[in-house]
Structure formats: C-alpha cells, structure tokens
Amino acid sequence: MRKVALFAAVVCFIFGYSLNAVGQYVPHFIGLSAGATDGAHEGQAGMNQACLNTYTNNPAAHMCTVEEFYRTAGIAANGLLVANGVQVWIQPAVSNCAYNGMEVLCQEAGSSALVPPTNLFFTCDSWTSNLESIVGTSVLFGTGTGGGWVLQTDTCNNKHRVACCNP
C-alpha cells in the first residue's frame, strides 16, 4: 500500500496533479496564460484555449473557476512571482442550478438573479463580448493591507491574462 501511495505522489509531482485526502484529483492553479485578452475570446472554449496554448504539455489546462483558484491558494501555492496590481480573468462561481421546466437556470456569485448559464452576468456575456458596458469576473493581486488576491469584476474591454488550472 505504501508503494502505491508513493507512486501516486511521484506521478502527481511529475505531472502537476493534486490529490485530496481520499486520493481524488483536485483541480489546482498552475499559472497565468502567456497572452492577455479582453472579454471577447470565443466563449469559454476560447478562454480554455488560452491556457492550452500556454501549457502545451498539459492537455487538461483550462480557465480556473473561482473555487479551483482559491482552493489551491492561487499564486502562493506555486511560488510564482506576481507584481502588485496584476489582474487576471477567472470563471465565476455558479450555484443553485435548477431546471424550471423549460431551461436550466443558475445563480452566479455576486448576483441574486437566476439566469441561463449561457447568459451569465459576470462573464462578459459568456466570454464573447468586449463591451465596456458589461463586466467579467477577475482577481487582482496585491490590493488591500494584506496583499493577496481580491475577487472583483472589470469591464470587458480591458485585457488581462487568464488564470489557468489543471485537473
């Protein structure tokens, strides 16, 4: 049993995977996309592609959700150096999804409204719009007295790198 656990730990270290207490893979933050983009990036697939283009040796790289990012402590978990004021796009948390008889509706973090997942408020219209009049979810590093990452929104016409995670 110890050999299996040691082997799993080595595999996780080599391939950049994390295990939780019961041995399941846990998505975790791996870094930032190489390039910056505004909110119009061909939807969620385009944001994921920004991570795949940066981490070419990792076919599962994708845009982090808020939970994935914060669960693995973001930058601190990876020893990456990030200057104060760096802001990155991140996929907001969605909860309370339910089928209303016609479509699935979800509640997005920061909003009390239930909306179809394809029209989330804080995703720059599902990562397809760079209008200044709508917002997307981001995190900003180095703000406040304690530093660290602060969850916020930004207008979709601004360009930021994408927070990338690995399952």
Q: Where are the domains of the chain?
A: 2-166
| Domain at 2-166, CATH class | alpha beta
* CB atoms closer than 10 angstroms to residue 4: 9
The answer to whether the beta carbons of residues 50 and 38 sit under 8 Å apart is no
pLDDT at residue 62 greater than cutoff 50: yes
List, for residues 31-51, the tens digit of each pLDDT value.
Answer: 899 999 999 988 999 999 999
pLDDT at residue 156 greater than cutoff 80: yes
What is the rounded distance in angstroms from the CA atom of residue 64 to the CA atom of residue 31? 10
Please provide the average confidence, as pLDDT, over all residues in the chain. 75
Furthest-apart CA pair in the chain: how many Å?
57
Q: What angle do CA 87, 92, 98 make, to 5 degrees?
A: 175
* Residue 98 confidence (pLDDT): 79
Alpha helices in 56-109 (DSSP H): 66-71, 75-78
Predicted model pTM: 0.71
